[in-house]
Structure 1
Amino acid sequence: MIYKVHSLLCMLLFVTNSLFAQTVANSRITLGVTGHPLNQKAYLNSGVDAQLNLIKSLDLKYYRVDVNTSPDGIALDHYKLSELVQKAKKANISVLPMLYLTGFKFSLSNEDAYATGFKLGAGFGKKYGAYFDYYELGNEMDVHKELVRNSGSDYADYLAPQMKTLASFLEGLNCGLKESDPGAKTIVNCAGWFHFVYLETLQKLGVHYDIAGYHWYSYMDDYAKTVKVDILKVLPARLKKDIWFTEVNYSPRNNKDKNLEKTRRTWVLNFISRCRSAPGIKAVFIYELLDQPDLQNSSMSEKTFGLFSREINGIRSRSRSSSGSNTSEWRKKELAKGLSSIR
């Protein structure tokens, strides 16, 4: 009974938010950047002030960050998160938290999954809701090995019982957030390709999220062109929601491109231009703010996704501790220069 009451209230909030969103005209898409200020070495060593100064130098409006929490919604890095959101607010930069699904297991019953998600959402919204307008619920669950078989581009690729359990958790998380923060707008994402069928399935299973998040990299775009699929038209038409690309970048097929930075700049700026001309596309987030040369088990391209590279005396440096707001050691790469030119 509690599940049904919560779901009904959540649905009413969802409809209200959706109607409000339709009355607001967005002449330009929002541009943001993803980073890892709470948990990755390059970010921890650079300091929050420097990161916010770099973001501000590009006039980007959003900083998307991943947040680990306890089951009751308290950030494991509470003091770091508090520092970030308070300083970001002063800098006029909005933070988009991407919440990991703490406590979720595919072995949970649907009722327990809903209750676990609700507890997480209600706790996080109560503790931090004053700082956020949008929340991203989980990350790329569409490629979880316990959920999907085959490519993930067909409805039949997703295991039905597991999808119902995940949908119950996400709806609980969604409703818990909106009970604590009634103005909250929620995002559920997927790992790109043609996995919009995953998001469609969640909607059919009763997950009342507000915005569809999508991750899109150049090799996906290349494939989409070969099969004549315009993802910018397909997503709004299929999902009937505003679309936020919460991870975007150029990822080379190999690391031998001597003009990688310029190629990346050209591809990303072109993609942003396409998004600006596509109805229903409302935001693009570049992945990511800083290069991460110390990443383990990652390709060179992933280590160099950053808009900024740390250099000392003109030499690219591995991560080392730095304090304060100093940004002089960070070189603005070609894509960052390009973003500055289109603002």
Structure 2
Amino acid sequence: MLYFEKLLGLIFLIFFLSSSNRVNGQTKENRVFIWGINGHPFTQQAYNKRTWAEQLSFLKDLKVDYYRIDVPLANTGRSKNEAAFYAFVRQLKSINVKPMPAVFPRIDTTVIDSLNTYNLYYEQGKTFAKEYGDLIDVVEVGNEWETKLIKSRKLDGTRASHYDLVKAKKRMWLLQGFINGMKTVKSSLRVSISLGWTHWYYLELLEKHHVNYDIIGYHWYSDMGDITNARKPYGDFLPTLKEKYRKEIWVTEFNTHAGTVKHSFASQKDYIAKSIERILKHKVISGLFIYELFDQPALKPRYPDEPNYGLIYMEGNQRRLKPAYLIFRQFIASTK
């Protein structure tokens, strides 16, 4: 009898532990939160090769999962900075950080029909995956391309009439071809496509044209409000998008608008901290990437709102951490 009671107790314990690992029908493994940050190790002065060791040191300190990096492509589908790309990705691997390339297939305006456009970018996608597929598991194709299709910045992007649908078709053919080409080589490769604010009809275009992507990569800044409770009448739109399009949702760019050009260090930290708290409780978003690692003072003359998005700034010849860096690191540590 005693043996039978012990056996029942053991069965109950196993059941309890199994149940406690499930939240809303999902295992904890399915609810792992992805942390990342943006940088430009191949394209921007503040991130040139002399700073690579510093970038790696900060990435290791933050314990991010991914480093989202822009990777312009030649018309072959290969990286324009191939030697640098290989070298940097190897260094990322040494600190257990994964690259998330944001790739920009070169736009060929001479090809205007659907079949030739599809085939051209299909071959580029195949080449990209053959060359780099073993190095990456997720890639973002394009960067806020919906903004190139919306007729006016005054429109909120929620309906078809806001878009140039002729131009949109050509962009959809490109995305179809490039992504299908990549997945022909590596079917497990996950693809993110980015958009911002309430530009939801872009997702409808992707759906109508059967673009085979996996992640909605939201870009969200403080001037857009609260991503978990957008301006009226939209409110909490994320669960609707997730259910309708059946995609995972990451935020692949996030910060105060203009970084610390228009915000103090303290207000940047407060916005990021309060937003992350809401995002983690919300549970629809499963990844967050801060934009970006370093300030870029060289951008100031041409892009006055762009130079101070970094979590790290230069004071003389020394790099200094903004309070937002410290709070971001703290949140990452709390979920590891």
TM-score normalised by the shorter chain: which range applies? 0.7 to 0.9
Question: Which one of the candidate residues 226, 245, 248 is aligned to 1:242?
Answer: 248
Q: Which residue of 1 aligns with 2:135?
A: 131
The Cα of 1:261 is off from its aligned counterpart by 1.0
Structure 2, unaligned stretches of length 5 or more? 1-25
Question: Which one of the candidate residues 170, 177, 183 is aligned to 2:182?
Answer: 177
SS at match of 1:130: helix
Mapping for residues 249-260 of structure 1, pairs under 5 Å = 249-251=255-257, 255=261, 257=263, 260=264
- Distance in 2 between the 1:104 and 1:42 partners? 30
Q: Which residue of 1 aligns with 2:59?
A: 55
CA gap 1:103/1:252 in 2 versus in 1, 3 angstroms? closer
**1:42 aligned to 2:46?**
yes
- Distance in 2 between the 1:311 and 1:188 partners? 36
The Cα of 1:104 is off from its aligned counterpart by 4.0
CA gap 1:310/1:46 in 2 versus in 1, 3 angstroms? farther
Question: Which one of the candidate residues 87, 97, 101 is aligned to 1:97?
Answer: 101
**1:336 aligned to 2:287?**
no
- Distance in 1 between the 2:74 and 2:89 partners? 19
The one-letter amino acid of 2:174's match is: F
- Distance in 2 between the 1:340 and 1:234 partners? 30
TM-score (normalised: structure 2): 0.83
The Cα of 1:252 is off from its aligned counterpart by 5.9
CA gap 1:256/1:220 in 2 versus in 1, 3 angstroms? closer
Q: Is the 8 A contact 2:141 2:193 kept in 1?
A: yes
Q: Is the 8 A contact 2:139 2:192 kept in 1?
A: yes
SS at match of 2:298: coil
TM-score (normalised: structure 1): 0.82
Cα RMSD after superposing both structures: 2.2
**1:186 aligned to 2:188?**
no
Residues 136-190 of structure 1, C-alpha deviation per residue, up to 9 Å, x if partnerless? 111111111xx32132232221222222221111011111111122221111111
**1:86 aligned to 2:90?**
yes
- Distance in 1 between the 2:198 and 2:218 partners? 10
The Cα of 1:98 is off from its aligned counterpart by 0.6
CA gap 1:66/1:255 in 2 versus in 1, 3 angstroms? closer
Mapping for residues 140-219 of structure 1, pairs under 5 Å = 140-144=144-148, 147-150=149-152, 151=155, 152-190=157-195, 192-219=196-223
CA gap 1:74/1:108 in 2 versus in 1, 3 angstroms? same
- Distance in 1 between the 2:41 and 2:268 partners? 24
The one-letter amino acid of 1:336's match is: Y
Deviates more, 1:158-167 or 1:209-218: 158-167
Q: Is the 8 A contact 1:261 1:334 kept in 2?
A: yes
Sequence identity percentage: 31
- Distance in 2 between the 1:261 and 1:74 partners? 39
Question: Which one of the candidate residues 297, 302, 305 is aligned to 2:302?
Answer: 297
Residues 94-116 of structure 1, C-alpha deviation per residue, up to 9 Å, x if partnerless? 00001102134386211122112
Q: Is the 8 A contact 1:243 1:280 kept in 2?
A: yes
Residues 1-42 of structure 1, C-alpha deviation per residue, up to 9 Å, x if partnerless? xxxxxxxxxxxxxxxxxxxxx988433421100111101000
Q: Is the 8 A contact 2:259 2:309 kept in 1?
A: no
Structure 1, unaligned stretches of length 5 or more? 1-21, 318-328
- Distance in 1 between the 2:138 and 2:259 partners? 34
The Cα of 1:227 is off from its aligned counterpart by 4.2
Question: Which one of the candidate residues 264, 267, 275 is aligned to 2:268?
Answer: 264
Runs of 4+ in 1 over 6 A off after TM superposition: none
- Distance in 2 between the 1:83 and 1:280 partners? 35
Rg (Cα) greater in structure: 2
SS at match of 1:174: helix
- Distance in 2 between the 1:279 and 1:229 partners? 16
Q: Is the 8 A contact 1:104 1:169 kept in 2?
A: no
- Distance in 1 between the 2:174 and 2:59 partners? 33
The one-letter amino acid of 1:122's match is: K
The structure, 1 or 2, with the larger RCO (C-alpha pairs under 8 Å, 6+ apart) is: 1
- Distance in 1 between the 2:47 and 2:279 partners? 29
SS at match of 1:26: helix
